[in-house]
Amino acid sequence: MAKTTLDQNTTPLYAALQEHIDKRVIPFDVPGHKQGAGNGELLKLFPKSVLEADVNSMKPLDFLCNPVSVIKKAEDLMAEAYFADESFFIVNGTTQAVQAMIMSAVSDGDKIILPRNVHKSAINALILCGGTPHYMYPYFEKKFGMSSGVSLENVKKAIEEAPDAKAILLINPTYYGIVSELEAIIKYAHHMGLLVLVDEAHGAHFPFHEELPPSANKLGADISAVSIHKTGGSLTQSSALLLNTDRISRDYVKTVLNLTQSTSASYLLMASLDLTRKFLITEGRGKLTEVLNLVRDARNRINEIDGLIAFSASDFNDKGCFGFDETKLGVNVTGIGFTGIHVYDLLRDEYNIQVEMGESHNILAIFSVGDTPRRVNQLVSALNAIATRYRSEPLDMTFKSFNSTEALISPRKAFYSPKKRFLINESIDMISGEFVMIYPPGIPILAPGERITEEIVNYIELLKSEKGAISGLEDSEANYINCIEEQ
């Protein structure tokens, strides 16, 4: 366990919740299922102990909208574990953390520098607060069909182009584990007076093993959003916002969070954050050593299979990749003649294996504290079997994807502009009024206000033909797109 000032073996929120349950307090409040007694259907899925813990705020259990006792204590422990001054528990997913982070730093009309491969929550935050994006376009690795990280040079150029920007947002790491030149960028951005915000949705495990990339707060980021539920091990949707600067006050961030935060925060989610923080700081290193051993072995074995590339930092030839999270097992599958979407479906339908995502070129398997050697063997064997049984000519996929989008109108203005519906394949050269993406990763292929190009339309058609789960459009069949009526 790392050296700490607070007693990281304690779990103040969980302890208070357990005490409440043990007291068998008579519930004349919500939730109306009253510990499961009023809705037997729930007991089919949730053990009674779970339903007993599904309570609402009350004096002994604090209130997430204004934490002053057990939630605040649990948040302080979380802040210390993640090298931050302050933390906020989040129950509306990292989406809410990213949005509150941006809305705390940027107001109507302010510019923010961000890489174009951000999650949609960042662009949605700009629709909400009226900030304007100034995009950096990270190096696009054509072989793997993906953006890599951001270099100090990218940042210097962006600040030169947008000298009035108030903040910069970085991703640490990308979905595929790629880390930007973070330390140098944070130093430079601070030197230039910018606030540094970091979307660390995929880096919840970073502080707990020295062979993983450093977490953003440790390197001096001002504020970060961390999906404890993704690779940390807490319950889905539970997340944390970490504040590490004197330039934005805790009170202001709290007020911003309360614009969108539920007034009925789930104690299941919050207790899971408290327990997971203790688990990570006391047992994380040992567990993560096992995870690293498993994923290193899997990567080596997959790389022996003809046509598959389980990529790592060295595959990016130093272009935009300044560190790598080995626990993200991205596998390029175009060498066996398939898209990632196809292999994702085959793994699920024929081998009962659910990987995190399948895109045009790659699949991504996430390794985390819950993996076992047996399951890893099943994944490697399934990939071997797919490569042997179905192999055909390698796919030639040379499109540039969304790396080259031209943003013409701010997301907020585009969102509220009058629009007309067009067939997607008849919308080339128009300005999109909507998002288009597949989730995961939730990175917009198009965002509101961007020019629709032939390349983008071809990419959307490819995703549709491969039955990728397209979202963002009003049309759930993804045949039509709302375009902005140009004056």
| C-alpha–C-alpha distance, residues 220 and 218, integer Å | 5
Q: Which is nearer to ligand PLP, 174 or 482 (CB)?
A: 174
Distance in Å, CB of 174 to ligand PLP, minimum: 7
Q: Which is nearer to ligand PLP, 224 or 432 (CB)?
A: 224
Site membership for ligand PLP, residue 95 (CB under 6 A): yes
Site membership for ligand PLP, residue 442 (CB under 6 A): yes
Site membership for ligand PLP, residue 441 (CB under 6 A): yes
Phi-psi map region of 457: left, alpha, beta (phi>0 left; psi -120 to 50 alpha) = alpha
Site membership for ligand PLP, residue 175 (CB under 6 A): yes
Q: Which is nearer to ligand PLP, 338 or 402 (CB)?
A: 402
SS3 string, 89-144, reads EECCHHHHHHHHHHHHHCCCCCEEEEECCCCHHHHHHHHHHCCEEEEECCCEEHHH
| C-alpha–C-alpha distance, residues 274 and 278, integer Å | 7
Q: Which is nearer to ligand PLP, 8 or 174 (CB)?
A: 174
Give the end-to-end CA distance of the chain in Å, rounded to a whole number. Answer: 61
Site membership for ligand PLP, residue 98 (CB under 6 A): yes
The answer to whether 414 and 433 have CB atoms below 8 angstroms apart is yes
Q: Which is nearer to ligand PLP, 12 or 442 (CB)?
A: 442
Distance in Å, CB of 225 to ligand PLP, minimum: 7
| C-alpha–C-alpha distance, residues 299 and 308, integer Å | 10
Distance in Å, CB of 483 to ligand PLP, minimum: 27
Q: Which is nearer to ligand PLP, 60 or 370 (CB)?
A: 370
> Among 80, 81, 63, which Cα is nearest to 72's?
63
**Amino acid occupying residue 48:** K
Binding mask 394-433 for ligand PLP (x = CB under 6 A): ----------------------------------------
Q: Which is nearer to ligand PLP, 70 or 223 (CB)?
A: 223
Distance in Å, CB of 444 to ligand PLP, minimum: 12
Q: Which is nearer to ligand PLP, 227 or 231 (CB)?
A: 227
From 8, 35, 227, 327, residue interacting with ligand PLP (rule: CB under 6 A): 227
Site membership for ligand PLP, residue 121 (CB under 6 A): yes
The answer to whether 5 and 80 have CB atoms below 8 angstroms apart is yes
SS3 content of the chain, % helix, strand, coil (to 5): 40, 15, 40
Distance in Å, CB of 398 to ligand PLP, minimum: 26
Question: What token pair was written down for 475?
Answer: 């049309």
Report the run of H or E that residue 471 belongs to, with start and end: strand 470-471
Task: DSSP letter for 212, please.
Answer: S
Q: Which is nearer to ligand PLP, 203 or 448 (CB)?
A: 203
Distance in Å, CB of 430 to ligand PLP, minimum: 28
Identify the bridge partners of residue 298 per DSSP, sorted by sequence position.
none
SS3 string, 11-44, reads CHHHHHHHHHHHCCCCCCCCCCCCCCCCCHHHHH
Site membership for ligand PLP, residue 199 (CB under 6 A): yes
From 136, 201, 248, 414, residue interacting with ligand PLP (rule: CB under 6 A): 201
| C-alpha–C-alpha distance, residues 183 and 188, integer Å | 9
Closest-by-Cβ residue to ligand PLP is: 93
| C-alpha–C-alpha distance, residues 226 and 199, integer Å | 7
Binding mask 134-173 for ligand PLP (x = CB under 6 A): -------------------------------------x--
Distance in Å, CB of 229 to ligand PLP, minimum: 6
Binding site for ligand PLP (CB under 6 A): 93-95, 98, 119, 121, 171, 175, 199, 201, 227, 239, 440-442
